[in-house]
Amino acid sequence: MTTLKTIVVMVALTAGLSAQHGKGTAETPSLTGTWNMGLEGGHVIPVALVLKQDGDVLGGTISMPTQKIGQTVDVALKGGLANGAFALSGTVEGAKDPTTIEIKGKLNDEGMLEGTVTMSGRGDGHHDMPYTAERLKERK
């Protein structure tokens, strides 16, 4: 009888550990937060990216530099997540030429975002810029 109890306990513990392990690997970390993005366009351009995730829906804002030194414009973004990757897009309001920003990427193994930002509609085609982004830690 004691052996049977031991086997039942071992099976229960193993099943419980397997379920916890499986749960941890199936969950995708949230992208919600403020990210310090570095656009690579001849030189690194620092950009603020704020994301809010609700399930597979992703939204936020990106603060893009303008042609005037020291000025930025906030662009509202909407998009989503699928198969470990995300895509966002938004339109620059008040731009001289209608300009669309598309951001595609994924969370890498180091917890950073990486991908491509595409700006199009500025009268001269579109520009693809690779980027990496690091999440800012919340201050206490």
Q: How would you classify residue 7: left for phi > 0, otherwise alpha for psi between -120 and 50, otherwise beta?
A: alpha
More confident of the two residues 62 and 41: 62
The pTM score is 0.75
Residue 5: helix, strand or coil by DSSP? helix
- Return the percentage of the chain with pLDDT > 90, whole number: 54
| Closest to 116 measured CA to CA, from 100, 98, 103 | 103
What CATH number is given to the structural domain containing 33? 2.40.128.120
Instruction: Compute the average pLDDT of residues 28-57.
Output: 93
| Closest to 76 measured CA to CA, from 45, 50, 96 | 50
Residue 24 has pLDDT above 50, yes or no: no
Number of Cβ within 10 Å of residue 29's Cβ equals 9
What is the extent of the structural domain holding 9? 2-135
In tens, the pLDDT along 60-90 reads 999 988 778 878 889 999 999 999 999 999 9
Is 140 among the domain residues? Answer: no
Residue 13 has pLDDT above 60, yes or no: no
Amino acid at 123: G
The predicted pLDDT at position 48 comes to: 95
More confident of the two residues 30 and 140: 30
Is 62 among the domain residues? Answer: yes
Instruction: Kindly report the average pLDDT of the chain as a whole number.
Output: 80
| Closest to 80 measured CA to CA, from 105, 100, 63 | 105
In tens, the pLDDT along 103-139 reads 999 999 999 999 999 988 756 667 899 999 999 987 7
Domain total in the chain: 1
Kindly state the tokens that stand for 32: 């919600």
